[in-house]
Amino acid sequence: MIHIPDFANATTVQVIFCFLAFITVITAFLTIFSRNPIHSAIYLVICFFSIAGHYLLLNAQFLAIVHIIVYSGAIMILFLFTIMLMNLNERHQVHKPRITRLGAIVSFCLIVIVLITIFINSKPIVGDYDSTGEDFQSIKVLGKILLNEYMVPFEFASILLLVAMIGTVLLSKKEKLNK
């Protein structure tokens, strides 16, 4: 059972969901098919914001805010820095051979067929929702779980991101020409 937010009735939520789904799918396709990497990054940010809207519809406010901060903020900034450091221009792009493009198209079609088959053969869960009464949306509960049970993986992830950032900076530095 999905909890419908207090601000709207079921019809309004369905309209908002359809609008957000349309925006998500369109911006995802524009991200893939845009020739300009900066435009692709902007479309991806819009896609991330629409996904955050889906989280809000599911009454997961904390997850929506974290999604906006982490993905739309931090990761997209890293993407933009990477695009700028790589200086992607159409003039300097190496064109892929036809066999590579054909392989990508065949792989994509196979994945789509598998996903559609899984979707068609899946059965919805019917029954009552069992609630323990504990609020997992609470920042206090999430903080306790994250900093008690998952402290070591949390720290490993932060060290991994730090090492990746240092590696990116070192790889992007241009060597000085010896005169």
Q: Quick check: is 94 in a domain? A: yes
* pTM greater than 0.85 (yes/no): no
For residue 94, name the pLDDT band (cuts at 50, 70, 90): low
Residue 22: pLDDT above 90? yes
Residue 178 vs residue 47, higher pLDDT:
47
On whether residue 146 sits in a domain, the answer given is: no
- The answer to whether residue 8 sits within a structural domain is yes
Per-chain mean pLDDT for the chain: 79
Residue 38 lies in a domain: yes
Domain count, the chain: 1
Q: Where are the alpha helices (DSSP H) in the chain?
A: 10-33, 37-57, 61-67, 76-86, 98-121, 139-148, 151-172
User: Domain holding 77: CATH number?
Assistant: 1.20.120.1200
The tens digit of pLDDT for each residue in 39-50 reads 888 898 899 999
Q: Kindly tell me if the per-residue pLDDT of 90 is higher than 60.
A: no
Residue 160 forms part of a structural domain: no
**23, part of any domain:** yes
The pLDDT of residue 42 is: 86
Most confident of 5-19, 83-97, 143-157: 143-157
Q: Is residue 123 part of a domain?
A: no
Mean pLDDT in residue range 109-119? 91
Domain that holds residue 73: 1-105
Q: Residue 92 has what DSSP assignment?
A: G
| DSSP letter (8 states) at residue 6 | T
